Structure 1
């Protein structure tokens, strides 16, 4: 999981929030005997943009919605939109481990369009079967996170961590189930993540994949199949060959239709499609 800011203490119960366009989705979780229990979940429409609106007013709107939903938990973990992120892929040369962090910092200074003092940067590393290492670096403007934190504190919440929502859906590392390409279907966009080699190999926010006509939504299967092919084609050969599954996360009938529409297009690449209906923490 790619975490941008976090505190060390892990509470026994917590509120999970995810920003998705003009919607705020949430769930209250309690950890019991090593497992997580869902106490409440909700999805609300926001009239004020937490990123650009007045923090006090935006926070008050969120607080009102939480009160109406009976949410009393104050500590929260927050999934931020992938559209906020800048990404950079880097091959790590054969270096002593102690020098790798310095190398990645230099690459970030060169590759990102803004100074590192204005960004919150983290990275995920992938290792191929032949031993080659690659890193995906992710940067989010600190002002975005500071603004969001002000809004949440105005809503009487205590942020514990900020992370990319899609990275919470498909975890990387030794505990990951397998290498996969994940599609997270949001309100107006689709997020894509490739998990391979024990890390995150690619991250993309795909605009224009969802069309809304009145209350009806349509996902363009041809466009997404093309983006999947392009994304996999940009990966090193060993990682590309290891990705044999596309996992689709989302809710609603239109997501189910999309999974059916894209299945033959993806299976022609030798890759299976799985519509995820549950999530094991």
Structure 2
């Protein structure tokens, strides 16, 4: 199971390789669980080829189940130089200026070739500062290595300094934190209150034979002699063994120094609670110290305290005036854009009106024609319907015909006429009876026309049903 990608991975970069540790919350409250990975430098894989080294580190992180997008980097003491300076009490700006002048005197290469930062803490004599410098070339190579591993560098600090600050304090007073490595030894001197005074690299190892042991013992004696005198309160000596030295060698070192040393272990002497650390965790203790520290590093070569603060070019009234001008410009721009959009919409509507103009004229002509024709039908008098119904009842053969047609205002109709025979008149009466639109159909009379004519005369009355 991979750890959370939100936790940054800590990288300790030395001349031998890169050791990586990621800390994530464990099952026990307040405890951390560590995942570790390592790459070893070779002629084909080194900081001189940071992109290739970064890809190799990325593969190792994946194999170890470490998922991260950010990293904090600790450099070994072999790539840093440190100077301790004492200054009188001063404010932050004055102290920064004094440390900058001291850095220019101490390091001839200057800021063009060196990245520098300092650690300052109050002391009895004023302000105790520790100035550290690292080659910019190394900083750039480490950044490129992290980029090759798909990591974003948050900070670059001193690995032995981070370990010393994360080592638990057994008793008040000065102490020396020693980290025994496979190719060298790193020494950090701390005064009471954990203010660092020295960060040194000794090119000697405990397992390198009598010559290197003598060199290591001599350097440690000089360090101990410079930080405290032998007596009632001897300087504490805390030793981290990441090289896996034999216990007899450690006992011999304590004997030759003439004072006891505290052999530190990851599960008991690191200022963070670890869940079931592995026996191999001591080798990764520097990276573990970086990974478990939530505070910002004491020294950060990427975000140096020596960098002057950004000065404001404009005062507050000018800033507010610029903001007001910006708001007015935005409003004017919005009005111009709105006017342009409305004009475009108007042009679109006008084009639509032009497209429908012909249809509109045709519709007007149709309405005019319909209105004119309606005058022939809408005001038609009701007696025309009576005449229509009566005409429909008379046969077209001509053997019965009407001679008069009278319609009263109440739509009562009297039709009189002649027929060649009486049956023809009765046929007309039957047709009028069958017409549902007529009512009160009556035959008033049927009689001989008189004289020598054989025709019959008749009169029929009926009424037109009014629409309900």
Change over 3 Å in CA distance of 1:52–1:127 after alignment to 2: same
The alpha-carbon deviation at position 20 of structure 1 amounts to: 3.1
Change over 3 Å in CA distance of 1:201–1:27 after alignment to 2: same
User: 1: CA distance between counterparts of 2:82 and 2:179?
Assistant: 17
Change over 3 Å in CA distance of 1:219–1:188 after alignment to 2: farther
- TM-score under structure 1 length normalisation: 0.79
Q: How does 1:1-281 map to 2 (within 5 A)?
A: 13-31=7-25, 35-47=30-42, 48-53=44-49, 55-95=50-90, 98-125=93-120, 127-128=122-123, 130-171=124-165, 178=172, 179-198=174-193, 199-210=195-206, 220-235=212-227, 244-251=235-242, 253-254=244-245, 256-266=247-257, 268=258, 271-278=259-266, 279-281=270-272
Structure possessing the higher relative contact order (Cα contacts under 8 Å, 6 or more residues apart) = 1
Change over 3 Å in CA distance of 1:28–1:96 after alignment to 2: closer
The alpha-carbon deviation at position 93 of structure 1 amounts to: 3.3
After the TM superposition, which of the residue ranges 85-94 and 103-112 deviates more from structure 2?
A: 85-94
Change over 3 Å in CA distance of 1:74–1:187 after alignment to 2: farther
Alignment partner, residue 8 of structure 1: none
Change over 3 Å in CA distance of 1:35–1:160 after alignment to 2: farther
User: 2: CA distance between counterparts of 1:218 and 1:37?
Assistant: 40
State the superposition RMSD in angstroms: 3.1
User: 1: CA distance between counterparts of 2:57 and 2:207?
Assistant: 27
Q: Answer whether contact 1:193 1:204 (CA < 8 A) is retained.
A: yes
Q: Which structure shows the bigger proportion of residues in strand conformation?
A: 1
- TM-score under structure 2 length normalisation: 0.49
Q: Match of 1:116, SS?
A: coil
User: 2: CA distance between counterparts of 1:247 and 1:218?
Assistant: 22
The superposition leaves residues 133-167 of structure 1 with CA deviations (integer Å, 9 ceiling, x where unpaired) of 43220011222112111111111122222111111
Q: Answer whether contact 2:9 2:71 (CA < 8 A) is retained.
A: yes
- Whose Rg is larger? 2
Structure 2: give runs of 5+ residues left out of the alignment.
273-468
Structure 1: give runs of 5+ residues left out of the alignment.
1-10
The superposition leaves residues 33-70 of structure 1 with CA deviations (integer Å, 9 ceiling, x where unpaired) of 983512412333233454322x3222122222223333
